[in-house]
Amino acid sequence: MQALYFEEKGRLGWRDDREVVLRSGKDAIVRPVASTTCDLDQAIIHGRTPFPPGFALGHECVAEVVEIGDQVSDVVPGDIVVVPCAPSCGECDVCRAGLTASCEAIGRRVIYGTPFGAAVGGLFSDKVWVPFADAMLVKVPEGVNPIAVSGASDSLTDTYINVTKGLKRHPGGRVLVWGGVGKLGPHAVDLAIALGAGSVDYVDTDEKALTLAEEFGARVHRSFDPAWDWTFDVVVFAAWQPSELRQAFTGLRAGGHLSQLMIFFEDTPIPMMEIYQRDLTFSNGRPSSRPQIPHVLEHCRCGDFHPERVVSKIIAFDDAPEALVIPTLMPVVVRQPTLSSRRLSIADLQE
């Protein structure tokens, strides 16, 4: 079988890889049919991470179940499912606490499509091994376009988690979303408005992202306004520069909350005195997406969230190595299922 590999900075390529097989009766094998990149993938592709080349890429996809073990009961071949980015057993103490990204049975750092922990393959592959299939896989409901929710494995759900953290503390609060990293910013605006934010301001320099944010209902800005000192109840931060993170804290009013969506690979100074003076809370961490994916899919089914509007490019699987190197908000690599009667409709995204 073939898998898409990170070969070197700015270059991806297909490699012949070992055929995946069931390792236990609890496993499934899936065939990705709609795979997308997140901020980490783009950072890997363009050499902004410390990861050496030579691993299978991808940790966000919707897939078709093609084979199951004899102890799997919740899915059958032909089902269309979201594959969470971090494998998990659903049974250990950590998983039962909702922290599936740190599953003790799988390994605390394991994630598809990265060299973190044990190698489990990438989600741009012909086929993918899924342990503990009943605990992991989430069926995509009828009425939800699988292409639109291809990011539910990680980025869409991660954004939901982080927007929710702030708005639970400050229902109806004033929200600032600081974008700059692809689809995360527009997703956060859409989610904040759907989840009841009183108002949303959006900062970015990407024109497409600014246009989407404005269409979703945000006031848009191309830079942070120093006059926003002590203004917002919630800040959702999705930008690259640590200096911008420091500034984002100053936008929070007393008791505010900042959720950081970004991964910084080096120790990053934060303004501890500002945090102290304003009595702020701060959250950052690899998302435990599995428990929240059903909530995200239900919001999409009901029409509360609109990830289909963020999809920027549809790519055939064969074209992925060249196409994914070109940055765009939300590229989705698509192929039709082989067992399911369900067809992936690109036209539906435009409705």
Same domain, 225 and 255: yes
Same domain for 268 and 320? Answer: no
Residues 167, 187 share a domain? yes
C-alpha to C-alpha distance for 6 and 53, rounded to whole angstroms: 6
* Number of folded domains that form the chain: 2
Q: For residues 106 and 117, state if they share a domain.
A: yes
Please report the DSSP string for 224-291 in residue order.
Answer: --GGGTT-EEEEEE--S-HHHHHHHHHTEEEEEEEEE----SS-----HHHHHHHT-EEEE-----TT
pTM assigned to the model = 0.95
Cβ atoms of residues 148 and 58 within 8 Å: no
Distance CA 97, CA 90 (A): 9
| Neighbour-count burial of 222, counting CB atoms closer than 10 A to its CB (0-12 exposed, 13-18 middle, 19+ buried) | exposed
CATH of the domain at 177: 3.40.50.720
- The last residue of one of the domains, among 284, 310, 327, is 284
Q: Count CB neighbours of 148 within 10 A.
A: 24
Question: Are 297 and 268 part of one and the same domain?
Answer: no
For 268, what's the count of Cα atoms within 13 Å in the CB-facing half-sphere? Answer: 16
Instruction: List the pLDDT tens digit at each of the 351 positions of the chain.
Output: 999 999 999 999 999 999 999 999 999 999 999 999 998 999 999 999 999 999 999 999 999 999 999 999 999 999 999 999 999 999 999 999 999 999 999 988 899 999 887 789 999 999 999 999 999 999 999 999 999 999 999 999 999 999 999 999 999 999 999 999 889 999 999 999 999 999 999 999 999 999 999 999 999 999 999 999 999 999 999 998 889 999 999 999 999 999 999 999 889 999 999 999 999 999 999 899 999 999 999 999 999 999 999 999 999 999 999 999 999 999 999 999 999 989 898 766 644
Same domain, 138 and 169: no
Tokens of 277: 């003076």
Residue 171 sits in the same domain as residue 144:
no
17: domain CATH number is: 3.90.180.10
Q: For residues 182 and 146, state if they share a domain.
A: no
Parent domain of 248:
156-284
Task: Quote the CA–CA distance of 304 and 88 in Å, as a whole number.
Answer: 28
Q: Is 126 helix (H, G, I), strand (E, B) or coil?
A: coil
Both tokens of residue 163? 């927007």
243 plus 320 within the same structural domain: no
Pair (99, 220) in one structural domain = no
Q: Are residues 145 and 294 in the same domain?
A: yes
**Residue 273, phi then psi, degrees to nearest 5:** -70, -40
CA gap 312, 122 in Å, rounded: 22
**End-of-domain residue from the set 232, 254, 284:** 284
Of 266, 284, 302, the one marking the end of a domain is 284
Answer yes or no: do 337 and 223 share one domain. Answer: no
